[in-house]
Amino acid sequence: MFKHLLRTLLLLCAVVSLAACSSDSDAPEAQAQTTLNLDLRVVPEHIQVSEYKYFTVSFKELNTGFTVIQELTNTYSLKTVLPTGTYNISVEGSIIFGDNSTLTEAKVSGVQTGVVINGTEQTKIIDISLKAGKSSDLILEEIFFAGTTTPQGAMYFGDQYFKITNNTDKTLYADGMLLIQSAFMTNEKQDYSPNIMGSTFSAGAIIRIPGNGTTYPVLPGSSIIIAEDAINHKEFNPSSIDLSHADFQIFKEDSDDINNPAVIKMTNVFEKMVIHTQGYYAYALARMPAGMTNDALVNQNSYTYTYNLTFGGDVYPMDGTAVKIPNEWITDAVNLSVQDSFQWLVTSPSLDMGWTSVTSFDGDKNRFGKAVRRKAVGKTADGKNILKDTNNSTVDFDHGVKPSLFN
């Protein structure tokens, strides 16, 4: 946490296609053009690709909004001409992989933001990876991280919470589920080494739901609430909510934290989870392999990362410790940020190809009392919401909405 504080103090995505092409806007006239040679590379590298079936590649220029979408079939290479600019490039498609005895078709995706395309000709590589996450498990429906304000205008943020929902038609158990906060921040891109994002999620804080495996059932369409402080916040701030009946509470030992004896404590596995009122982190749900203990998770998966922080022309060597969570363990992930200061996704695109927010600029006081909440795309026979889950938080979530517990 010290390093995050230190960093915060120091720093206060065509015209020609191999197949088909469609554009959302016309290319700017009389603008320099660049020939782009784009190769798609499947990661991790040990995956044996038998066939590149099809890909949809989207380019969006960040300054003009110029957008072009191109489709590839049976190839991983694209040559196109684009107006010079800075682009977000996203890829979705399908490959067949495996050895000769067992072949599997899988969805893949990739995204790269802030790609500068200029000059006469350029070559770029976009990493793509297998789509991860288990649609048959619990997902993050809503995150209320912004907090509220008192009638006097003071910040109040003990009322933050996570709403986790069973979006399936079967009873699931919350026992052992990990709630993870990323080690890296979406508004602060660094060249971290080693770069293991293609296969793992770097955790800066981990908490875990207790239980023996069948202690905490979650019925189809039902939810559980994990509260920052499981108290009736209305007693201290009439603009807030009553979280005294939350299912679980985040309790930080060895600190001056609030404990409600009537609410089950989350188990602290790694570091202390501090929820930023502007988002800035990614959150994920994951399940460890059966039989793995908390200590084994940390001891076997901790690693040290390094990077150079540049500020005022000077370079500061930095390092930190995180726990690497294999992407295949993760059932759901959501990147949070602020629109004007977003720099990058801190998860593999296989987990989340987008991000969501409650506000457009840093320090916006209108963020208080707002949440991000997953969109409903229908209803079950008994009236429960069916939630949108495409592994793209930009399209899956409504942003800056009234938290459901405030209704």
pLDDT of residue 61: 94
In whole angstroms, what is the distance from residue 298 CA to residue 322 CA? 9
Task: Average the pLDDT over 108-130 and give the result.
Answer: 90
Closest CA to 164 of 143, 195, 146: 143
- Long-range contacts made by residues 245-248, C-beta under 8 angstroms, separation at least 24? 246/161, 247/174, 247/216, 248/209, 248/224
CB 17 within 8 A of CB 78: yes
Task: Name the residue type at position 324.
Answer: K
Say whether pLDDT at 362 is over 70. Answer: yes
Closest CA to 354 of 58, 31, 26: 58
Average pLDDT of 13-40? 61
Read off the pLDDT of each residue in 21-32 and give the average, rounded to a whole number.
Answer: 55
Taking only the tens place, the pLDDT of each residue in 67-78 is 999 999 999 999
User: Which pLDDT score is estimated for 143?
Assistant: 98
**Average pLDDT of the residues in 82-93:** 93
> How many CB atoms neighbour CB 367 within 10 A?
22
pLDDT tens, position by position, 214-248 = 999 999 999 999 999 999 999 999 999 999 999 99
Q: How far apart are the first and last CA of the chain?
A: 34
The reported pLDDT for the residue numbered 390 is 86
Q: What is the pLDDT of residue 198?
A: 85
Q: Which two tokens stand for residue 374?
A: 């997953």
pTM assigned to the model: 0.79
Domain ranges across the chain: 13-130, 138-406
What's the CA gap between 77 and 381, in Å, rounded? Answer: 45
Q: Give the per-residue pLDDT at 135.
A: 63
Residue in the block written with tokens 């038609």? 169
pLDDT reported for residue 134: 53
Name beta bridge partners: 129.
Answer: 109
| 79 against 313, higher pLDDT | 79
The CATH number given to 13-130 is 2.60.40.1120
